[in-house]
Amino acid sequence: MSAIPLSWWIFVATALFMIGFYVALTRKNAIAILIGLELMLNATNINLVAFDRYITPARVEGQVFAVFVIAIAAAEAAVALAIFIAAYRRRGTVDVENLDSMKF
């Protein structure tokens, strides 16, 4: 039907997800990690919309979920950034390697 096969979307989504994952794993800066997480959420959104488009084209459940994801991502980002700003104000850094006071 469409010129673009489903597998391409899946490939891109997976790649983007792993990029986000890698960012979340490696970055020291908390805001960078947040960016990684957002990338992963977007990868998920690609999948949701792609599957919606290719498997149930007559319905929009996938897009509904994607909207929810975006809303939650927005909330998450707001809270996370508020936390980072507070932490930065207290410690002068948002380096997660220094945010380990709950360690044994």
Is residue 91 a contact residue for another protein (CB under 8 A)? no
Residues 6-35 as x/- pattern, contact with another protein by CB under 8 A: xxxxxxx-xxxxxxxxxxxxxxxx-xxxxx
- Distance between CA 83 and CA 3 in Å, rounded? 45
Phi, psi of 59 (to 5 degrees): -120, 170
Q: How far is the CB of 87 from another protein (least distance, A)?
A: 9
Phi, psi of 40 (to 5 degrees): -60, -40
Q: How far is the CB of 99 from another protein (least distance, A)?
A: 8
- What residue type is assigned to position 48 of the chain? L
Binding-site size for another protein (CB under 8 A) equals 82
